[in-house]
Amino acid sequence: MSLLNLRDITKSYGEGAQRVDALRGVSMAVEAGEMVALVGPSGSGKSTLLAIIGGLLSPTSGAMLIGDRDVARFDARQRSQYRRDQAGFVFQASNLVPFLTARENLLLVGEFGGADRAALRKRADELLEELGLTDAAGQAGNRLSGGQRQRVAIARALMRDPLLILVDEPTASLDSKRGAHVVEALRDAVHGRHKACVMVTHDLEMAARADRILEIRDGLLQAHEPAMQPASPAPCIVDPCE
């Protein structure tokens, strides 16, 4: 059974003549260790779908199964716990806490759940090292470069060892070289840690680095295509431009 199963998910806003159907019956599955790119034009519903998978929005109808649990039926408190423990987010703007250091941004996520502090520190240091951020660990979020911020965001998403990594336009504010390194870092994390990943992107070159591409248009999934392999894998995780 797939890690993530969406069954006939719909999402509508407004009523009557004002009604907008953002999603019109989306069904998909993502396996553990698989990175899926979700592409589509603006307004196609891909961000709405990502928000639903991440427990930020509730679907109007349909089921969203993580294992055998239907997240669509969770109340607000359960959704908060789900976001904390099972879904790691990487946003377009990274959305780090600007006045905290890279390391503190990671530890903050651990603080939400009251885990053992020493274990959290160890995990944060391991993730920072793995993502080539050891030297930037003490720098405030607003002093990091765009690529560093996104890699810290990836590390933050992995802090609580979630089942899912949800990524929203991770390279939109980066040039293609930095973007490629960020996606490679993400891909390595997903494969190395056996996570399921859904990445929303406009950038087909970045989407091609995923294991699978799904296209969404007018609230409906259009096609399931195998992803292209990256033409030239990044030689290292650390961005030499930074």
Partner 1 sequence: MFAIREMSRRKLQFGLVTGVVILIAYLVLMVTGLGLGLNQLAGNALLAMDGDYFAYSERSNLSVIRSQLSEAQVKDLSSAPGVKAAAAVGYTAAAIEYQPGEVETGALLGIDPGSIAEPAVIEGRALTARDARALLVDRSWVNLTGTGIGDTLLVQVGLSAEPFEVVGVVDEGSFFFQPAMFMLRDSWRGVSYRAVDQETPYASVVLLQGDGLEGASGPNWEVVTKDTAFWNIEGVSAQQGTVDALRYMGLLIGAMVIGVFFYVITLQKIALLGVLKAIGASGLYLTVQGMLQVFLVSLTGTLIAVGLAVLTKATVLSADTVPIAFTTGAIVNSTVAVVVAGVLGAALSMRQIGAIDPIIAMQQQ
8 A C-beta contact, residue 3 and residue 164: yes
Q: Is the dihedral of CA 209, 11, 157, 28 positive or negative?
A: negative
CA distance 10 to 60: 5
Q: Is 203 exposed, middle or buried (0-12, 13-18, 19+ CB in 10 A)?
A: buried
CA nearest to 169, candidates 72, 31, 14, 42: 42
Q: Which of 65, 112, 145, 227 binds partner 1 (CB under 8 A)?
A: 112
In the window 183-222, what residues touch partner 1 (CB under 8 A)?
A: none
8 A C-beta contact, residue 26 and residue 221: yes
Task: Find the part of the chain contacting partner 1 (CB under 8 A) among 26-34, 50-58, 63-71, 121-129.
Answer: 50-58
Q: Is 149 in the site for partner 1 (CB under 8 A)?
A: no
Q: Is 100 in the site for partner 1 (CB under 8 A)?
A: yes
Q: Is 77 in the site for partner 1 (CB under 8 A)?
A: yes
Phi, psi of 210 (to 5 degrees): -80, 170
CA nearest to 220, candidates 37, 54, 45: 45
Q: Is 152 in the site for partner 1 (CB under 8 A)?
A: no
Q: Which of 92, 134, 139, 145 binds partner 1 (CB under 8 A)?
A: 92
Residue 7: CB minimum distance to partner 1, A:
22
Task: Find the part of the chain contacting partner 1 (CB under 8 A) among 64-72, 106-114, 183-191, 230-238.
Answer: 106-114
Q: Which residues bind partner 1 (CB under 8 A)?
A: 47, 50-51, 54, 56-57, 77, 80-81, 83-85, 88-89, 91-93, 95, 97-100, 104, 108-109, 111-113, 140, 156-157, 160, 168-169, 172
